[in-house]
Amino acid sequence: MILRGPALVCATLGIDQATKSWALNDLWQRSPDGVALAPFLNLRLGFNSGISFGLFAESAAEAPWLLVVFKVAVVVVLALWLWRTRNPIEAVSLGAIMGGALGNVADRIRYGAVVDFIDAHAVGLHWPTFNMADVFIVSGVTGLIWASLRTRPVGQRDVSKR
């Protein structure tokens, strides 16, 4: 196991929870309608009781503990992968995914929904509101894809050294 992964789990979880705390306590109190940061980016508080991007919000709201159990199971599988990896890109990527997932799990346990506050939009179309945990999860998945494209399968020779 590469220690960067566990360190990143803690860092991403901390950043996620700190930014959500700020959104709940400061952003909401000062600007309940949100704050425009740029022509394409707002900060506005929202709660997602669904899976991802608000999918299945009605049915997921009735069983938030099912989503918690599922995400914790995913984190356990990722932790086993992290324990076995020797690839630093995989370790960092897995740490980011795990920290983000645990941040969203903490929200579901505390609030019954995930706290979202980043609202990206362009030409009248809005991306579903998201949070830093989502940023870390997407970044981690991107890192895993990149690592898989850079890694040669076991037993494959480097023919360029002939």
Tell me the C-alpha distance between 2 and 9, whole Å. Answer: 12
Tell me the C-alpha distance between 21 and 28, whole Å. Answer: 10
Contact 44/35 with Cβ under 8 angstroms?
Answer: yes
Active site residues: 116, 134
154: which residues sit within 8 A by CB, 6+ positions away? none
| Beta-bridge partners for 36 | 42
